[in-house]
Amino acid sequence: MTLRGTIRGMLCGLALTASSGVAQAQDIVSPPPTGGNGIKVGNGRLHPYFEFMSRVDSGVGYFNDAQEQLPGGVSPDLSGEVALHFRPGFKLDIPSSRLAFNLNANLDYVLFTGLMTKGSGAASHMAGAADLLARINPDAPLSLELSDQFARSDRTRTTAIGAGILSLYNEAKARLPWKPGGGAVEVAPSVAYALEFFEPLAASAPVDCGDGVCDPLRADRFDYGNLRVGLESRWRFLPKTALVLDTGVDMRRYFNDGGPEATLLRALVGVAGLVSPKVAVMAKVGWGQNFGDPGGGTLIAQLEGTYLYGPTLTFKGGYLRTMEPVAAYGIFRDDRGYAEVRSLLGGKLTLRAAGAVDFLSFAGARDDTVVTVDAGPEYQFRPWLTGAMGYTLSKRSSSVDGGGLNYTRHEGYARILVTY
């Protein structure tokens, strides 16, 4: 067995044991903190749950359809489909002053019905997610946090490649928070290692794909491992205001010919705190520098504000400029503007609307623009029964040709969640 196959097998085994199993709201949704009594486990509770979701998606993937009389029987555009999600899972919370343990995991069988695109049923697949956090001595001045995040879905963290791809992602992380002198100062070094593997969620590549980044059938060449060593620190020099420092180094390596490898240093410094009882602000500025090929550096920053209009209505918005390693090009810069409004009515109805615009600049001559909108209500009928529906718009345009990089994707979803 090859190294890549061995690692893939280990990750699948972890998924099945941890999940017997985050992405956008309509993809992998965590259960609400409420529910039934659950099952007592030590000092904590185990809450099994089951979620059913139906999703109408205008851009699932590329499929052969000889009836359309297209070259090779393949559409240049993403095909739409009605997808059904069957998602059993559980949430385990064990509070403790010595070892606090939290695990949220699920399996997700995604069934393509074939109602909109014939032949799509072959792309039905098993997805899932698992988030684990263990905290040793969480209340002590020096503690240890061990976490693992697993996800298999059709949403990838690699922005350079196109749609119609399945991603298998896992990140293991260790963090060491230290709070000397009563907690006014906190220093937290960390180390994390992430793996991501790709496979096509389609029968074919788009006919107008002139670059390998938009070809789902070749996505596995971008499989990668990413080691990140970081340091976060916070000094609360006022009761509600802190000076923050966030720095880290990413070392990205590809298992196949996935593009230039990167060694990326990022460092940010700024302040975070309350301007008034209703307004919170975070402002950070710094620099990102790639020491790998092809090099390059840029100013990075984040400015975010949150306004609590009332106990049940919150507005949040901001601007983020960051630099990240990426497949095929080595690095890219993201200038992102985002906003969100959330309201809780009657203690049971949650209304949410969020939007963002990303201007992506890749090393070389490629520029993308991505617009996303996500909105919808969620209602808690009973402590153990929650329902939700919503709409998501994803619009992407790129200077590189290819249907997987230039598309408008509409998604409508409805889901029901039962928690014991």
The Cα–Cα gap between 22 and 32 comes to 15
Count of CB atoms situated within 10 Å of the CB of 82: 18
3-state secondary structure the chain: CCHHHHHHHHHHHHHHHHHCCCCCCCCCCCCCCCCCCCEEECCEEEEEEEEEEEEEEEEEECCECHHHCCHHHECCCCEEEEEEEEEEEEEEEECCCCEEEEEEEEEEEEEECCCCCCCHHHHCEEEEEEEEEEEECCCCCECEEEEEEEEEECCCCCCCCCCCEEEEEEEEEEECCECHHHCCEEEEEEEEEEEEEEEECCCCCCCCCCCHHHCHHHHHHHCEEEEEEEEEEEEEEECCEEEEEEEEEEEEEECCCCCCCEEEEEEEEEEEEEEECCEEEEEEEEEEEECCCCCCEEEEEEEEEEEEEECCEEEEEEEEEEEEEECCCEEEEEEEEEEEEEEEECCCEEEEEEEEEEEEEECCCEEEEEEEEEEEEEEEEECCEEEEEEEEEEEEEECCCCCCCCEEEEEEEEEEEEEC
Percent of the chain with pLDDT strictly greater than 90: 63
Supply the pLDDT for residue 85. Answer: 97
Instruction: Output the CA torsion sign for 90, 87, 394, 73.
Output: positive
Q: 248-279 pLDDT, tens per residue? A: 999 999 999 888 999 999 999 999 999 999 99
Per-residue CA distances from 299 to 38, 249, 268, 308, 334 (Å): 49, 16, 10, 30, 11
Supply the pLDDT for residue 182. Answer: 76
Supply the pLDDT for residue 208. Answer: 65
Supply the pLDDT for residue 217. Answer: 77
pTM for the full predicted model: 0.85
CA angle 308, 312, 317 (to 5 degrees): 40
Supply the pLDDT for residue 303. Answer: 98
Q: 286-309 pLDDT, tens per residue? A: 999 999 887 889 999 999 999 999
Specify the higher pLDDT residue, 76 or 330: 330
Taking 70 as the threshold, does the pLDDT of residue 72 lie above it? no
Task: Record the tokens describing residue 188, joined without a space.
Answer: 């937290």
CA 227 to chain centre: 18
The Cα–Cα gap between 248 and 332 comes to 17
Per-residue pLDDT band for 116 (boundaries 50, 70, 90) equals confident
CA angle 24, 48, 23 (to 5 degrees): 10
Supply the pLDDT for residue 37. Answer: 79
Averaged pLDDT, 92-114: 94
The Cα–Cα gap between 186 and 178 comes to 6
Taking 80 as the threshold, does the pLDDT of residue 36 lie above it? no
Taking 60 as the threshold, does the pLDDT of residue 69 lie above it? no
Taking 80 as the threshold, does the pLDDT of residue 11 lie above it? no
CA angle 81, 84, 89 (to 5 degrees): 145
Q: 189-225 pLDDT, tens per residue? A: 999 999 999 988 766 666 566 667 877 778 889 999 9
Taking 70 as the threshold, does the pLDDT of residue 12 lie above it? no
Query: At CB < 8 A and 24+ separation, what contacts does 345-349 make?
Result: 345/312, 348/379, 348/380, 348/381, 349/377, 349/378, 349/379, 349/380
Q: Which residue has the tokens 């109408």?
A: 56
Supply the pLDDT for residue 76. Answer: 57
Across the chain, mean pLDDT equals 86
Supply the pLDDT for residue 200. Answer: 83
Averaged pLDDT, 378-395: 95
Averaged pLDDT, 125-153: 96
Specify the higher pLDDT residue, 259 or 397: 397
CATH number of 3-419: 2.40.160
Averaged pLDDT, 89-94: 95
Per-residue pLDDT band for 137 (boundaries 50, 70, 90) equals very high
Percent of the chain with pLDDT strictly greater than 70: 85
Count of CB atoms situated within 10 Å of the CB of 57: 23
Taking 60 as the threshold, does the pLDDT of residue 33 lie above it? no
Specify the higher pLDDT residue, 41 or 248: 248
